[in-house]
Amino acid sequence: MLDIQTLRKDLPAVVAGLKRRGVEFDEAGFRVLEDERRTLQSRTEELQAKRNSLSKQIGALKGKGEDASAVMAEVGGLGDELKANEVRLAALQESLTAFLRVIPNVPRADVPDGKSSDDNVEQRRGGTPRTFDFAVKDHVDVGAALGGLDFDTAAKLSGARFTVLKGGVARLHRALGQFMLDVQTQEHGYTEVYAPYMVTGECADGVSSLAKFKEDLFKIEGRDLYLIPTSEYPVTNFMRDTIVEAKELPLKFACHSPCFRSEAGSYGKDTRGMIRQHQFDKVELVQIVHPDQSVQAHEELTSHAEAILKKLELPYRVMLLCTGDTGFASARTYDLEVWLPAQNAYREISSCSNYEGFQARRMQARFKNDKGKTEPVHTINGSGLAIGRTLVAILENYQNADGSVSVPSALAPYMNGTTRLEKA
């Protein structure tokens, strides 16, 4: 949620920032609510001051033995108006909060302007795409030949956009999750956590706008619970309604979980294979940091996600998202895109975002600064990595002419020494 104090002090800057991402801020609607709040608050403060003054008069009159009933009646009338004002102020505050909760974050100044992914800016590349001396197959054909990808059985069980993994491919999928967690916890200082796969509507609204994106989630019928689209939802909410000391920051968590997405509006896109699924696994990285450290922490977390691609020797590139492609809650986002030879293209495998204080204000996640005052923490998160898409990248980049797939050397210890997946 945007900082209300920034809106009050520098509304034109916020309006201009939102316009960069194609959002027209309702200035008139905001000013109506804010002007009424300011007027009512000013009147309330006047009444409180007057009541305090009259209360002193009552004490003085009683001290002199004089009749204070008229003044007491006046104080009673003020009390009635103050109570009415308190009720109206609370309602106004709710209206302001509801107004702000559907407004996206303001992009940082160094986020490039643009309308879509076509305007994202490449930052760097890692690795070189392999040159094949045989006809490259996509992961669907490679996995099916190995007897490891079964979309027909998955469709019988659950419908489209699900996959059953078998044999060595299932083992490779499991190995990837363990490998990713070990790298992040043993080399990069993250604490491994295991979190619920369902969260309340309040938690879902804490990391993004539930009102705007409810259709993207799977709702549990009859309950205020949603299947998580990423473990960012439960893990970031560890900090909800919490105040920590500055010395406790940063907090760094790594969580492996399944993720569930309705893929609303994506029908017709990536219908073949495992690129866009209703259920997939991911290792999520979350950092809770001091505001002064969030820019640096964002770069650090992105490098931690990159480390997985480097160790697996998968070609990739890092893209800085433009204003039109940056997510609702993010102030700045890097996408990591892995090379898929069958598509002859780079495809997203991780998004690493700096939300600054946007999520923290929604969740009331705060820390005590050096002056003893509370202020929002900054939150950063990213995939380290999406396991299904990493599996796709390995099947395509490590395929051999005979239909087998070589196992990346980094994964051999997690595969009981297996170095190659053979055709079924």
pLDDT tens readout for residues 262-307: 986 666 677 788 889 999 999 999 999 999 999 999 999 999 999 9
Query: CA-to-CA distance for 160 and 315, rounded, in angstroms?
Result: 29
Of 351, 357, 283, 356, which is closest to residue 318 (Cα–Cα)? 351
Q: What residues contact residue 385 under an 8 Å CB cut-off, 6+ apart?
A: 180, 282, 283, 305, 308, 309, 336, 349, 350
**Distances in whole angstroms, Cα of residue 134 to Cα of each of 137, 341, 400:** 9, 12, 8
Catalytic residue among 161, 353, 389, 396: 389
> With a threshold of 0.85, does the pTM exceed it?
yes
pLDDT at 92: 85
Average pLDDT, the chain: 92
**What residue has token string 């940063």?**
250
Catalytic residue among 208, 257, 330, 351: 351
Query: CA-to-CA distance for 15 and 6, rounded, in angstroms?
Result: 11
Task: State percent of the chain over pLDDT 70.
Answer: 93
| 209 part of the active site | no
CA distance between the termini of the chain: 52
Q: Which residues are annotated as a binding site for L-serine?
A: 230-232, 261, 284, 381, 383
Domains 26-102 and 117-421 are alike in CATH topology: no
Q: What is the pLDDT of residues 224-262, one digit of tens each?
A: 999 999 999 999 999 999 999 999 999 999 999 999 999
| 389 part of the active site | yes
pLDDT at 339: 98
Of 254, 318, 324, 249, which is closest to residue 285 (Cα–Cα)? 254
Q: What residues contact residue 285 under an 8 Å CB cut-off, 6+ apart?
A: 184, 190, 252, 253, 254, 301, 304, 305, 352, 381, 382, 383, 384
| 161 part of the active site | no
Q: Which residues are annotated as a binding site?
A: 230-232, 261-263, 284, 348-351, 381, 383
pLDDT in tens, the chain (424 residues): 999 999 989 999 999 999 999 999 999 999 998 888 888 887 877 777 777 676 777 676 666 676 666 766 766 666 777 787 788 888 888 888 889 999 999 999 999 999 999 999 999 999 999 999 999 999 999 999 999 999 999 999 999 999 999 999 999 999 999 999 999 999 999 999 999 999 999 999 999 999 888 899 999 999 999 999 999 999 999 999 999 999 999 999 999 999 999 986 666 677 788 889 999 999 999 999 999 999 999 999 999 999 999 999 999 999 999 999 999 999 999 999 999 999 999 999 999 999 999 999 999 999 999 888 999 999 999 999 999 999 999 999 999 999 999 999 999 999 998 999 998 6
Helix axes 167-187, 387-397, angle to 10 degrees: 120
Maximum Cα–Cα distance for the chain, whole Å? Answer: 107
Catalytic residue among 27, 36, 313, 348: 348
Catalytic residue among 37, 51, 171, 261: 261
- Among the CATH numbers 3.40.50.1820, 3.40.50.2000, 3.40.605.10, 3.30.930.10, which is that of 117-421? 3.30.930.10
Residue-range domain boundaries for the chain: 26-102, 117-421
3-state SS of the chain is CCCHHHHHHCHHHHHHHHHHCCCCCCHHHHHHHHHHHHHHHHHHHHHHHHHHHHHHHHHHHHHCCCCCHHHHHHHHHHHHHHHHHHHHHHHHHHHHHHHHCCCCCCCCCCCCCCCCHHHCEEEEEECCCCCCCCCCCCHHHHHHHCCCEEHHHHHHHHCCCCCEECHHHHHHHHHHHHHHHHHHHHHCCCEEECCCCEECHHHHHHHCCHHHHHHHCEECCCCCCEECCCCHHHHHHHHCCEEEEHHHCCEEEEEEEEEECCCCCCCCCCCCCCCCCCEEEEEEEEEEECHHHHHHHHHHHHHHHHHHHHHCCCCEEEEECCCCCCCCCCCEEEEEEEEECCCCEEEEEEEEEEEECHHHHHHCEEEECCCCCEEECEEEEEEEEEHHHHHHHHHHHCECCCCCEECCHHHHHHHCCCCEECCC
Using an 8 Å Cβ cutoff, are 387 and 180 in contact? yes
| 240 part of the active site | no
pLDDT at 15: 94
- Homologous superfamily of 26-102: Serine-tRNA synthetase, tRNA binding domain (1.10.287.40)
pLDDT at 76: 67
| 174 part of the active site | no
Q: Rounded to 10 degrees, what is the CA torsion of 9, 13, 17, 19?
A: 110
Q: Which residues are annotated as a binding site for ATP?
A: 261-263, 348-351
Q: What residues contact residue 114 under an 8 Å CB cut-off, 6+ apart?
A: 120, 322, 323, 324, 325
- Which amino acid is located at 112 in the chain? P
